[in-house]
Amino acid sequence: RKPNNFPPGPKWLPIIGCAWELRNLHKAKGTLSEVTQELAAKYGSVVGVKVGRKLTVFVYGSTAFKELLSKDDFNARPDDIFATSRTFGKRREQKKFLIHQLKEIGFHKPILEEILAEEMRAIIHDINKTIEDDGVICVTNLFPVHILNTLHILMTGDKCSDQEMEELHKAMNSFSENIPLTGMLFNHFPFLRYICPDYCGYNTYVNIHKRVLAFISKKVKMLKEICGPQLSRGFIHAYLEKLNVVKGKSSFSEEQLLATCLDVLTAGFDTTCNSLGFVFLYLLLHPEVQQKAQEEIDSVIGRGRPPTSEDRPRLPYVECVVFESLRLITGRAFVVPRRAIRDSTLNGYFIPKGTILQGSARGTFLDESAGWKNPEVFNPERFMKDGMLCIPDNFIPFGSGRRRCVGEIMARANIFVIVASLLQTFNFRSVPGSPPKVDFVEGFTPSVKPFKAFVTLR
């Protein structure tokens, strides 16, 4: 039975709840993000549904979205089969340790700059090789290996071999293409994994996670064997040291180490690559924006040295380009799902303990009512005030509160350095006769269909 004062929503049918209606809406609309828009238009900014036995609330309106992200009662992640079958059936989160180590390893140290600069040189080298040929490049293929390299270095302190990278890249691609952040059929109807494990996505889900975890496991084993002062320090090394100190007397364990590395890889790869894909798609479609960004780079940095993340305050227009692209992509995404840890309220409605809350950023980043004029239009200037970057309070692409993204500093630095360096060196134009289309593809986070550009040296 529907709890009293549960948010309004579609009718619940026996056993399946609202699953059929949601499936049909999804088919008609194309993306779950648009489904939430449709539901919000009908029922309001907080919509209650039941899928299988699970209560889920879609949060759409900007006031409710903010309340969702900031309220302690909703600070947990789901603990269902979808969450636990990736982490050995159990989970204790160690976010504090992760944040501390990420800061130690690279976020506030020159090492991050070094990693980014080296990756940048590699990307520029790859593009130069194509220019010697016909200058036509698949833009979306440019970034994944380099983003994985930065995440790999963060975890292990070093790069991996080309062969290992191929293995990791393939596994991560399968992850991005096949696993939506909002869940799969088997986590709404867990019994299906015994009846039709292929059809309900369970086998795909488990096998992809096994591949990524096998890769991380191999790395942990290697790093244990070569432990010593000569070892360059990454997150795994710091964690192993901690394990040695606590010696089984705490929640630190090798399983937790694998699960945390899995989180970093899965949360950091797809999001950063897809954001870069969108930045360059919009730059191709708006040559005037590209030119303005290049003029800013030329006047502030010139061509004599590559941009670094320290240049961000002096390149506000480039930052605006990045933020405007982030708005248009994350506006079609969901924040990582939350779970109510106790009975609570949201927007005045009753939210029972255990309810899953899916925050759709569409109502906050892509809606006129949230203060965005012509929200579908790409307009970097909306983030500019008196020549300075100005980010509205309700623009929170990395979430907020205690569950805020731990990779924000790295992601922002990475995207900025790649965009500024490539615009400093190259011109990106549409391939004559085939301009790219803004076509969003659903995945772990929204992505753009692969597209090509004609690149020339400036």
As annotated, the binding site for heme includes 405
Rounded least distance, CB 317 to ligand HEM, Å: 19
Asked whether the beta carbons of 262 and 155 are under 8 A apart, the reply is no
Residues engaged in binding ligand HEM (CB under 6 A): 69, 77, 95, 263-264, 267-268, 271-272, 275, 330, 335-336, 397-401, 403-407, 410-411
Q: How far apart are CA 44 and CA 63, in angstroms?
A: 12
Asked whether the beta carbons of 96 and 104 are under 8 A apart, the reply is no
Q: Which residues are annotated as a binding site?
A: 405
Q: Give the nearer residue to ligand HEM in terms of CB position, either 12 or 416.
A: 416
Q: What are phi and psi of 453, to 5 degrees?
A: -135, 155
Q: How far apart are CA 185 and CA 35, in angstroms?
A: 17
Q: Give the nearer residue to ligand HEM in terms of CB position, either 97 or 398.
A: 398
Q: How far apart are CA 417 and CA 408, in angstroms?
A: 14
Rounded least distance, CB 82 to ligand HEM, Å: 14
Rounded least distance, CB 129 to ligand HEM, Å: 27
**Nearest to 79, CA basis, from 366, 354, 350, 302:** 354
Rounded least distance, CB 436 to ligand HEM, Å: 20
Q: How far apart are CA 354 and CA 347, in angstroms?
A: 17
Q: Give the nearer residue to ligand HEM in terms of CB position, either 147 or 423.
A: 147
- What is the distance, to the nearest Å, from the Cα of residue 41 to the centroid of all Cα atoms in its chain? 27
Rounded least distance, CB 93 to ligand HEM, Å: 7
The token duo for 54 is: 């699970």
Rounded least distance, CB 141 to ligand HEM, Å: 18
Q: Give the nearer residue to ligand HEM in terms of CB position, either 10 or 268.
A: 268
Residue 432, C-beta contacts closer than 8 angstroms, at least 6 positions apart: 454
Q: Give the nearer residue to ligand HEM in terms of CB position, either 389 or 411.
A: 411
Rounded least distance, CB 44 to ligand HEM, Å: 22
**Nearest to 3, CA basis, from 55, 79, 73:** 55
Q: Give the nearer residue to ligand HEM in terms of CB position, either 23 or 169.
A: 169
Q: How far apart are CA 283 and CA 119, in angstroms?
A: 21
- DSSP letters along 344-398, please? EEETTEEE-TT-EEEEBTHHHHS-GGGT-SSTTS--GGGGEETTEE---TT--TT
Q: Give the nearer residue to ligand HEM in terms of CB position, either 188 or 332.
A: 332
CA angle 198, 200, 204 (to 5 degrees): 50
Q: What are phi and psi of 201, to 5 degrees?
A: 90, -5
Q: State the residue number with the nearest CB to ligand HEM.
A: 407
Which DSSP symbol is given to 442?
-
- 3 state SS of 432: coil
Rounded least distance, CB 67 to ligand HEM, Å: 12
Which DSSP symbol is given to 106?
I
Q: Give the nearer residue to ligand HEM in terms of CB position, either 130 or 400.
A: 400
